[in-house]
A = this chain, B = another copy of it.
Amino acid sequence: MQYLFEPDIYTDRRRVLQASMQGNVLLFPGNKNSPINYAANYYRFRQDSNFLYYAGLDLPGLNLVIDADKGTTILYGDDATMEDVVWTGPQPTLKELAASVGIADVRPASRLFEDYADCSMHTLPPYRAEHYAVLQRLATHADCSVAPSEQLILAVVSQREIKGPEEVAQMEEALEITAQMHTKVMRTAKSGMRESVLAGVATGIARANEGEPAYGIILSRDGHILHNHHYHNVLQKGDLVLGDFGAENRMRYAADITRTFPVDKRFSPEQADIYNIVLEAEMKGINAVRPGQMFRDVHLLASQIIADGLIAMGLMRGNPEDAVASGAHALFFPHGLGHMIGLDVHDMEGLGEDHVGYGTECTRSDQFGLAYLRMAKSLRPGHVVTVEPGIYFIPALIDQWQRQGLHQAFIAYDKLTAFRNFGGVRIEDNVLVTAEGQRVLGPRIPKTVAEVESLRAKA
C-alpha cells in the first residue's frame, strides 16, 4: 500500500526542477533493501528522500530519470512476477503505481543502462554502497558520465527546503505520534527500570502508527553523552532522563523532539535551575524564529541565555557577551541550536550540510561548538527547523578543557565537581517559519517544570 500525495504535487515538483536544470538529464537512484545478516533478511525498507520527493513511490529497486532535455520523466523498474503474487499477494502494476505519481513512461529496470548508454547525467551524492554500484555500472558505458552535481544539489535544496502545506500536515502527523511516544515514556519511567524498556515503549508506538523511529532513539540517564544509542542503564532515583526521539510517519516525514524529566516525581532544585535556563533558551529561541532572521543569530541568542543562567548559578563568570564570543559556553552547550527537518530528520544532510544550512550567505565557524551548527542562514517562510538548546556536564570535556587551561576567565571549574554526575538537559521542538513569524508544529508536549512534574505525578 502506497501513501501518496495527489499526482499534481509530484508533477509540479518535477516541472520546477526541469525548469531549473534545462537541457540536462537527471538520475535519481531509488534505494534497495539493505541486508541485515544475509541477503534475504533485510532492514525495513526506506526509500531515498529525493526519490520520494519527486516520485513518491516507497518501493525498492526503482530508478527515476528526469530528462530536462527532452522534457520527459521515466520510471525504471520491474513488475512483480506470478511467483511474487503467490508469495506477496496481488500487487498493482508499476504502470498503475507510476500513474498515481503522474508518470506515464515506465520501462524495465535493465533498460536504464541502454537508454542512457551515451549520455551525461547529473545525480546527487551517493550514500549507500548500492548507489555507487549503479553509477559504476553506468560509467562502464564508454560515453556515459554520471556524477554528483552541485547544480542539481542547489536546485533540489531550493525546492525541498520550502515545505508545502501538504508536507507540513505530514510533519504534524509525525508529531502527533511523537507526542504519544514522549508522553507515554514520561508516564512509564520509574526507578529500577532499564532504559531499554522506555526505548521499547517509544518504538512500539511509532510502529503501531505505521511509522518508525526517524533516527536512533536517544533515551538515557546519561544525557550528557550526546551520541548515545545504548539503553543498558537502570534508572536510579535522582537521575534525569533525556529522551531525544521522534517518529517518521507513514509518508516518511520526520519529527525530532527532546524532553528531559526526573526519575523522581519532582526535579531537584539544581535540576530545576538548569532546566529552566534551557527552557528559557528554547522558548526565546523559538520566538526569535521569523523570516529574514539568520538562524546563527538565534543560536547565539540561546547561547547568551545559557551563559547568563550559568553565570547566575556561579558555574560561569565574567561578561556573558564576551563568554559567548569566545566560545566558553560551549563547554556546556557544545552543539548547534538546530537544523532543518523534513523527509530527513537532518533534512537533506546527504546533499551537504553547508549547501543546506549555509549556502552562499555565510561560512561555517571553526570555533568549537559553533562549528557544529548545521543551520546558520536566514530563515524563510516554509522552512522547518528544530530549536534544541541544552546544558550538559561532560566529564571528559571538562577535564580536557581544565587540563588545557581553556577559558579560565569564564568557567568556574572548581564549582563543576558537584555537577559531574548531573547528566544533561535538552529541550527541543520543531518550528515552522510562517509569513508573520513562526509556529511550533504538532501538539503541545509537556515542557515546563510544572507540566513535566504533573505528568510524572501520574507515573
A residues with CB within 8 A of B: 1, 34-44, 46, 48-49, 82, 85-90, 127-130, 132-133, 194, 196-197, 199-201, 203-210, 215-216, 222, 225-232, 334, 343-346, 349-350, 394, 396-397, 400
Contact = CB atoms under 8 A, between A and B. Distances in A.
Given A34-B43, A38-B346, A396-B85, A208 B196 contact: yes
Contact of A46 (B37, B40, B85, B196): B37
Contact of A197 (B86, B90, B199, B208): B208
A130 B127 CA distance: 12
A226 B83 CA distance: 12
Nearest to A392: B86
Contacts of A87: 225-227
Copies of this protein, total: 2
A89 B200 CA distance: 23
B129 A216 contact: no
Given A35-B128, A200-B205, 7 more contacts: A34-B128, A38-B49, A40-B346, A82-B396, A89-B228, A196-B210, A200-B208
A204 B209 contact: no
A438 B133 CA distance: 46
A35 B225 CA distance: 22
A34 B34 contact: yes
A295 to B, nearest CB: 20
Nearest to A193: B208
Highest count of chain B CB atoms <10 Å: which of A40, A226, A232, A400: A40
B225 A88 contact: yes
A39 B127 contact: yes
A350 B34 CA distance: 14
A55 to B, nearest CB: 15
Contacts of A205: 200, 204
A50 to B, nearest CB: 9
A82, A128, A133: which has the most chain B beta carbons within 10 Å?
Answer: A128
Given A1-B232, A37-B350, A396 B86 contact: yes
A396 B87 CA distance: 9
Contacts of A396: 82, 85-86, 89-90
Contacts of A86: 226, 334, 394, 396-397, 400
B345 A41 contact: yes
A345 B43 CA distance: 14
Contacts of A334: 86
Q: Name which of A132, A204, A350, A397 has the most chain B CB atoms within 10 A of its CB.
A: A204
